[in-house]
Amino acid sequence: MTAEKNIDLKISKSFEILRSYCESENYKGYDPYDGLNSTFFQSLVGLRNNRLFRLAWIQSFKRSPVNLRPLLGVPKGYNPKALGLFLSGYCNLFKIDQKEEYLQNIKFLVNKTLSLKSAGWSGNCWGYNFDWQARAFYQPRNTPTVVASTYVANGLLDVYRLTGDEQILSEARSTCDFVLKDLNRNYQDDGSFCFSYSPLDHSSVFNASLLAGKLLARVYNFTHENPLLEAAKNTLEFCCKHQHVDGSWSYGTYAYHHWIDNFHTGFNLECIADYIKYSGDNTYESNLQNGLQFYYDNFFPADGRSKYYHDSIYPIDIHAPAQLIITSFAVSKFLDNKTRIDNVINWTIDHMQDKNGFFYYQVKKHFKSKIPYMRWAQAWMFYALSTYLSNTRQVPTIHPVNKMTVI
Phi-psi region of 357 (alpha: psi -120 to 50; beta: other; left: phi over 0): left
Kindly state the average pLDDT of the residues 221-250. Answer: 98
pLDDT band for 401, please (50, 70, 90 cuts): low
pLDDT band at 308; cut points 50, 70, 90: very high
Percentage of residues in the chain having pLDDT higher than 70: 96
Q: Look at residue 46 in the predicted model and tell me its pLDDT.
A: 85
Burial class for 39, CB neighbours closer than 10 Å (0-12, 13-18, 19+)? exposed
Least confident of 170-184, 255-269, 272-286: 255-269
- Mean pLDDT across the chain: 94
CB atoms within 10 A of CB 189: 5
Instruction: Read off the pLDDT band of 1 (50, 70, 90).
Output: low
Q: Which CATH architecture has domain 3-30+78-390?
A: Alpha/alpha barrel (1.50)
Q: Please state whether the peptide bond connecting residue 400 to the residue before it is cis, i.e. omega within 30 degrees of 0.
A: no
Angstrom distance (rounded) from CA 250 to CA 15:
32
According to DSSP, residue 117 is labeled P
Specify whether the CB–CB gap between 156 and 176 falls below 8 A: no
Contact 179, 197 (CB under 8 A): no
Per-residue pLDDT tens over the stretch 171-219 = 999 999 999 999 999 999 999 999 999 999 999 999 999 999 999 999 9
Phi-psi bin for 225: left (phi > 0), alpha (psi -120 to 50), beta? beta
| pLDDT band with cut points at 50, 70 and 90 for residue 396 | low
CA atoms within 13 A on the CB side of 88: 22
Separation of alpha carbons 171 and 177, rounded Å: 11
**Which pLDDT belongs to residue 7?**
85
What's the half-sphere exposure (Cβ side, CA atoms, 13 Å) at 81? Answer: 23
Please report which helix (H) or strand (E) contains residue 60, including its range: helix 51-63
Q: Give residue 348's identity as a one-letter amino acid code.
A: T
Q: Which pLDDT band holds residue 3 (cuts at 50, 70, 90)?
A: low
Residue 48 pLDDT level (bands cut at 50, 70, 90) = confident
Q: What are the boundaries of each domain within the chain? A: 3-30+78-390
pLDDT band at 354 (very low <50, low <70, confident <90, very high): very high
